[in-house]
Copies of this chain bind each other. A is one copy, B any other.
Amino acid sequence: MGMNTWKICEEAYNEKLNKNYEGLFTQGNGYLSIRGSFEEDLSDATQNDRYWRMPANVTLEKQMHPKSKWGVFVPGVVGNHPILNEEMVNLPYILGLNIYIDDSRFDMEESDHDNYNRELDLKTGALSRRMKWLINGKKIELNFLRYISMARKNIIVQQLRVKSIESEVRLKIQSFIEGDVTTNGYNHFVVKEVSHNNGIIECYVKTDLEDEIIMMSRLLVTSGVKEEFQIIKDRVIHNGIINIRKGQEIVITKISVIKTNMDKETLGNLRITDVMGNPNFIDDAGLELKKAVDDVDKLYGEHVDEWKKRWDISDVEIQGDDRSQLAVRFSIYHLLRSVNEGNDRVAIDAKGAAGEAYFGHYFWDTEIYLLPFYLYTNPAAAKNLLMFRYNTLEAAKQNAKSYGYSGAKYPWESSISGKEQCSNWQYKDLEIHISADIVYAMWHYYRVTGDKDTLFNYFIDVMYEISRFWISRADIEKDGTYSIRGVMGPDEYLAFTNNNAFTNYMVKHALKRTLETLKMIKNEDEELYINKSLNLKISEEELEMMNRVMNKLNMPIDNDKHFIWQCEDFEGFVDLDFDKVWIDRSKPFGQFISQEKNYRSKALKQADVIGLLWLFNRDFDNEMVKNCMDYYEPITTHDSSLSYIIHSIVYSQMEDRDLAYEFFKRSLGIDLYDYGAAEGIHIANCGGIWQAVIYGFCGLNNLMVDEDIKLKPALPEGWERVKFRLLYNDRWYNITVSNDEVVLEYE
């Protein structure tokens, strides 16, 4: 019997890994996300510290909160941090459940316990924990279970079963909501009100951006319980006191609701339009809680049904490698729980709403790493992720303007407003490929879904404004060619370079697809074309210019040598003796070199040219791929979690299945196996893992270019079979792949 490939388990409590498990065990339903912290308070783990978090590289930062950080997030609820800008607010902790026996509080650090086990069931999104608590010679069995309803987006259900094995005990259950929670050391709440009312404890907060959040909890206990309510500072408490007989088990259920003034059905719209939203959201919360309490027996079933629907279309079954199977399901689980599929006003932040790192900001991860999974399994969700960019076009235009450029410059770090959130100028000013990546993703969406309507009516606006930006950003050279100078490519360890290959290639592609789409519209819907021309103020000169820049953009590609330079000036950077500098390879390279020296050295943070080889895999011949890989991989530090998985895919392209699997395994470690989830889930890597299986090992062809699905598998040793489903051009394909055969059925 192999391992259970649906469950992530923690078999012993370890203070040093607790934060990692908080990240791994994050639960959610797209609307709401909660880290896997314990229900009860933990010794020496303050949650309201005040400090100045600077926007440093999260890889190199000294960790605050070494042991535990709660995280209750409604992505879209952002506050205004003076340095970090709009950041996703860590909301009051609603899961609170302390347990007392004879006035001793249960505490994971202080209390004796054995038979500990905690596990997250990926299939149902339910998190359970059990242990025996040894207190004053008594033995108490504790069983926790909780889930965030996938069926009712505002509802959280917790269950606690307490059994006294050997004696009668006096039990106090303390349910609480704690309002005094800071986000990255900052208090975003200008109003905090805790109260209790008719057996319900409530916490209302108002953020510094005037978002309002209401939380309510109701404790359901058997009769005979003595109930008390308390307010201590910003914590509202509901105590239930009961005697348990020897051998008796009592069951406590806590049902909670979270709503914000921005909710309609789900968090629906931009702050600015949503003052209209729902003035009675507090009343609504009360009604919804009441309904959930009434329906208490149905809640789990309907929740599991919803998860089942998702797994039915999303699961990737790997036969012959349980370790990979579990990690792939783990990745898909987080992809499923972090997308607010019906909402086109929020996207998915870099940590998948599973931590405070990166401040809830949105990066190119969405377009390049995350999109394919949704595109092939839930195109409506994929569309909304891209519609988020459409909905923030105005902010991107303002951003371009603030730099003196035309069109739309999308922010390196976005938030719900679509304004630039990045506090480090070198990224926000120079890492501009994001604005071409978006066009790539929109074209990708169109190619896989065939949804011309969205392309013609919405995406083209974004594409045109982005192309307009690029022609104003490119500089003409004396020989009539064009250059893009002063940029940072995906490799963030070179800050200031000229004609970065990745960026320029993406820009060329963006211009090409924009012109192509316009031509399609013109051919297929002349009236629409006229409207677009008017609305976008399309001019012949501009189209001409887009065409010229597309054709004459300099590309540091040496066709004779079959080699792509990362940038035109790459050779001018300094060679490093890696063995001398990187003395401990178990730690990131960046810890052993100053940013200053790094910025002038040939040491890559992550795939740059290699990314190009992956995204445009049909454009480069095998020799070029090999030359680039041979040159760049040894000087790539993979300090970014975005790096391994691309290497895995490109090694698959090269049919080097050993190296492809090697890098795949390293990717699986990033969150799951190497304890990297303390500050949140590397959600882009999750999306990448899906791609590495589907594109890499199973060899799905590039449908950006091809018409029909084809697969050319090169499964790692030991993998017998991979089964999954894909939705392509409105048709579901059931695919089974082994090294010997590909079975493609469609419905």
Contact = CB atoms under 8 A, between A and B. Distances in A.
A600 interface: yes
A597 B600 CA distance: 20
A600 B485 contact: yes
Contact of A593 (B404, B426, B485, B574): B404
A403 B486 contact: no
B52 A82 contact: yes
Interface in A559-582: 569, 572-574
A610 to B, nearest CB: 24
A404 B430 CA distance: 26
Nearest to A429: B596
A535 interface: no
Interface string A487-521: 00000000110100000000000000000000000
A496 B498 contact: no
Contacts of A573: 485
A83 B52 CA distance: 9
B498 A429 contact: no
A594 B402 contact: yes
Nearest to A496: B496
A388 interface: no
Nearest to A593: B404
Contacts of A600: 485-486
A600 B569 CA distance: 14
A426 B599 CA distance: 11
Interface string A268-309: 000000000000000000000000000000000000000000
Given A475-B574, A495-B496, A498-B572, A595 B425 contact: yes
Contact of A403 (B82, B429, B572, B597): B597
Given A572-B498, A574-B475, A486 B596 contact: yes
A746 to B, nearest CB: 49
A485 B572 contact: yes
Interface in A225-274: none
A429 B594 CA distance: 9
A498 B573 CA distance: 10
A293 B52 CA distance: 47
Contacts of A574: 475, 485
B595 A429 contact: yes
A338 to B, nearest CB: 32
Interface in A417-435: 425-426, 429-430
A599 B498 CA distance: 12
Nearest to A425: B595
Contacts of A593: 404
Interface of A: 52, 82-83, 402-404, 425-426, 429-430, 475, 485-486, 495-496, 498, 569, 572-574, 593-597, 599-600
Given A429-B594, A496-B496, 18 more contacts: A83-B83, A403-B594, A403-B596, A403-B597, A404-B594, A404-B597, A425-B595, A425-B596, A426-B426, A429-B595, A429-B599, A485-B572, A485-B573, A485-B574, A486-B599, A495-B496, A496-B599, A569-B572
6 contacts: A402-B594, A403-B597, A404-B594, A425-B595, A475-B574, A485-B572
